[in-house]
Amino acid sequence: MRTRGQIALALALLVLPASAGNAQQQNLNFLSLEQLVNEGSAESTLALRCAGLFHSVWDYIGETALGPKATLQAKSNVSLFLEAGTKLRIAETGEAEADANKAAVAAAFAASGKYYTHYKNNVAAGRDAYATDEMWSSDLEICKNLAEQL
């Protein structure tokens, strides 16, 4: 039987565009996770940002290039952080579950789109999309640490 988080993820993947990076978003205020932690951002914000990070890599590279094992891991991480972010959001705000699910999916995919734009900007500037990007590496490390606490 599927959990509500898995169902929410499946629905989100069906209704959202194939590429969260298609929207021409401005990344002028795209703060690193370290900055968000230092600003005292809510735990749900951090978890949903991690969902966006893992989705962005999966979205940017694509399932074929990523390969089945890495794709499964990315999907698992998106699901983990999306479900945790939703639960944390409910605890933080007292929102109804349906409203929290909707807001969590929107926040995660907004973050994914910003990461996607960040990757495109890196490539346009002659840099690697993300593998050697300091912000991405730092955010990934924070997400790994957060995953251990979930």
Question: Over the chain, what is the mean pLDDT?
Answer: 83
Among the listed residues 61, 79, 73, 71, the one whose alpha carbon sits nearest the alpha carbon of residue 119: 61
Looking at residues 123-127, what average pLDDT do you find?
A: 91
CA distance 116 to 98: 27
Among the listed residues 107, 100, 81, the one whose alpha carbon sits nearest the alpha carbon of residue 20: 107
48: confidence class by pLDDT, cuts 50, 70, 90: very high
Question: pTM of the predicted model, to two decimals?
Answer: 0.79
List pLDDT tens digits, range 94-124: 999 999 999 999 999 999 999 999 999 999 9
Residue 23 has pLDDT above 60, yes or no: no
Which pair of tokens denotes residue 28?
């002028």
The 3-class secondary structure across the chain, one letter per residue, is CCCHHHHHHHHHHHHCCCCHHHCCCCCCCCCCHHHHHHCCCCHHHHHHHHHHHHHHHHHHHCHHHHCHHHHHHHHHHHHHHHHHHHHHHHHHHCCCHHHHHHHHHHHHHHHHHHHHHHHHHHHHCCCCCCCCCHHHHHHHHHHHHHHHHC
What pLDDT score does 22 carry? 38
For residue 41, give Cα distances in angstroms to 75, 99, 124: 25, 20, 30
CA distance 137 to 114: 15
